[in-house]
Amino acid sequence: MTEREKMVSGIPYRATDPELVAMRMAVKKKLGIYNQTGVHDAPEQAALLKGILGHTGENSWIEPPFFCDYGLNISVGKDFYMNVDGVMLDVSPIVIGDNVMCGPKVQILSATHALDSHERNFSGTELGKPVTIGSRVWLGAGVIVCPGVTIGDEAVIGAGSVVTRDIPPRVFAAGNPCRVIKDI
């Protein structure tokens, strides 16, 4: 397996692999252009976004500035919206459904590291765990979605929450760590 295949599969991989380094550099160049393109040129910005993400549904939009690791491991459905300062660390797949709204400074993170300090510091490897967000979800400002989490359809995550475990559909959840507050 290549390091890229290991990365996407959730197997420890070496981020220093030349192919992965080149991929990160390529997306940083694209993001630099995307983040400098003003709202006065929305069609150009939409085309740039399609060249950054692996899949972009119809009428999807991310306000600049936006940051990601690779881009191609991100799939967003139709009518997706992310406000300013969004971050998606996509070493493993990040799959987002239709009609999802993200407030400013939302972070969706699939990148992680070993818990064992010796392995983390001396193995030279990193890990990824996929993130799945259903349809019609709202992530409030400053929400952090941690690696390996699934958020069910129509869930609402309160501002500033840190989502460390799966959230079921049709609930309002909030806090650090994020927990279900009530059914919707």
Does the pLDDT of residue 41 top 80, yes or no?
no
Mean pLDDT of 115-144: 94
- Out of 40, 55, 113, 118, pick the active-site residue: 113
Mean pLDDT of 107-114: 96
Q: What is the spatial distance between Cα 178 and Cα 83, in angstroms, rounded to a whole number?
A: 21
Does the pLDDT of residue 38 top 70, yes or no?
no
CB atoms closer than 10 angstroms to residue 91:
26
Mean pLDDT of 115-122: 89
At 42 the pLDDT is: 79
Predicted model pTM: 0.95
At 124 the pLDDT is: 87
Q: What kind and span of H or E run contains 76?
A: strand 74-76
Per the structure, the complete domain to which residue 57 belongs is given by 3-183
Q: What is the spatial distance between Cα 142 and Cα 140, in angstroms, rounded to a whole number?
A: 6
Say whether 55 is catalytic: no
At 39 the pLDDT is: 64
Q: What is the spatial distance between Cα 101 and Cα 133, in angstroms, rounded to a whole number?
A: 11
Amino acid present at 51? G
* Residue 8 CB burial class (10 angstroms; 0-12, 13-18, ≥19): buried
Q: What is the spatial distance between Cα 101 and Cα 137, in angstroms, rounded to a whole number?
A: 6
Least confident of 36-40, 67-71, 83-87, 103-107: 36-40
Question: What's the structural domain count of the chain?
Answer: 1
At 40 the pLDDT is: 65
pLDDT digit string, tens, across residues 133-145: 999 999 999 999 9
The answer to whether 146 touches 164, Cβ cutoff 8 Å, is yes
From residue 60, alpha-carbon distances to 32, 55, 181 in Å are: 19, 10, 29
Mean of all residue pLDDT scores within the chain:
95
At 43 the pLDDT is: 84
The CATH number assigned to the domain holding 160 equals: 2.160.10.10
